[in-house]
Structure 1
């Protein structure tokens, strides 16, 4: 009977530990935030990383991959592969892209057919100039296009229709005006990047509140996304130490049953967040004094007899 009780307690301990494994942080989150390399942009829903995460971690059309050099890459269905500079999840839901060859040619309009991305509403018209030398590319609306430069040492400069007329190169000759294109070039530091945005799925509220954003189950009748609290990940070292303490407490209770804590106390010790687990300095210390020499393993010794004086 006693062995059955001990076995029952052990199984109960294991069940409670497994039930709380995710709270302790031992259950890995396959959809947790990740990145390609230390300097890469954060990858989280609706984006997901091919080869490292399952598809349900993201949304259709938001698949990213890592190159051998740890660059983050997005492949558009009809425009090929582009590198990812940064991703804005919080304000405008935008992604900053650039071509692998580094060519910032505004005539290279990405084909966004069958993709979840779109251009901004502004329309630009570019004027191309051929210059022998031109170094003032830091002005707004002025773009140097190195990939179009000639071996004869002339530079191609593009000036958008919103730029100040005084920015027009004085020592250059005009080549032609391009057709009006969607505004997709954006300044990011000292370089121009392709700027795209997405409207669906919308996770701005989730991330602004410090929550996680996940894809809603189909046919739930709710919105396409759900906001969930961020998972708290406990310390594995603390968990291991806690389990060792529990195993020791159980073994100790077999030999010294008087010190065995109640099952209610044991369960209370297992509850709560992984980071908040607190173990007493000595959970096995008994408040009863006893002569251990009289205790036989496996038997209960309730009292220790004392000598009664005959005068009493």
Structure 2
């Protein structure tokens, strides 16, 4: 009896709340106030909720939406998305913030003048739009005039600071050791400061003072569609609401008199049930975010717009550009139907489905629909590292600065270290090369293509292989012949070393087209020069850049030692790349022909199967 009456009270209370929405417009349920979930701001005119309310329910430029976590998202021109914290319909302002805590990252896309909103700070001061220029400066740069420059912490990083200055100012000599990043236009000055929680206000439509302040709703004029009109709560709704409230109080008093102990017991049970539901929902939400989605082949065709835009083609399939339903751009790799036994597909999904690191490409989803198989990755606009380091004239015509090359090398090393030590199971990639290093819009490196990867426990010192795997020129000696040792995580260290040396030389390590025959095999040639105390023989004008090139070369030579036991771990490699070149010692000569146990580097490209 107590349970039935308690639930009746809950039903009546809910009914009271629903009737209280009598302020909703009378032109259909699709314009009633809605929200993404119970703790999110209610959405009503002049705003509208995409997918849940009709276009006529809101004014132009007042679009909101719900993300996959049912949080309210505010859309501004062009492609700027902010999270909504609160909407004050009376004072006509909306409180927003950037989900990642750095609204300055979205400033290049912000065009506030194309929207009906103005920027307002926490102290309700308006801020006129201006033009700014962003610079990257060293943090220990004593020449930077910090009266001219102001720092943006969330855009800065280790060893550098991002500063901004008004575009119409002339910073003169203070730019001597800073590099310009970009110009941003038509941005409120207040948004350049270290804020992430701010207000946007609107002046039209004028609903706050006219309607909302008097407890009335607001909507477009229903007669001529010009201006707005207020609408009232009907008296019969108020009477019904009052009667239901009285009934609820009576039943509540009866229940309280009947059994206070029973209500407490039910309340305790209800809280436990809700807590359990919340734990399950949180787990499912987190699991959904970590686990790649499964798509049908029809979904893949829709995502790629019938395979319209081709990005590239490799030995295992073709890559197309695609767009998910939430406007996220992806790269879809459609695997060849009749090539292999599905091992690459299983490796990719099995390995990448458990990897979450800034320097590893994220697997968004996959398709296994009959004979049709595809992998959906995050889209990286700058493609692979290969096209930037193998320039037409080698290192003399490189597209990336030496500072950026050092950052890329460190990012790749951290990614490989994560694969070796950061996952529950150690992941050996076996195909580290420039083609498999992708670059995002900021040239941050991400390791991709896990088709040849193997998983093993962290305690396992060696792995079993029945056949060699990898790309010639990057395969470790022990993968080709067990005379050099067992295959282990040190095989990836060797491949990384070969990649480092190609980054320094700006060319393939084996290049038969060079003029001097001694330069055909770059690693041996560059070791000889360093061993004799000579310069690298690469055209570098800046002394600081020469140190970077020398450091990358020494680390690379350590990594390509013939025997795995002589190579450092990736954890040690990361530490070396973070140090200065003067702190590094030259490794033993891996090309010394006097040691008969160390054969010269094989240049043949035949890859024979190795039986065990």
TM-score where L is the length of structure 1: 0.46
Of the two, which has the highest radius of gyration?
Answer: 1
More helix by share: 2
* TM-score, normalised via structure 2 length: 0.27
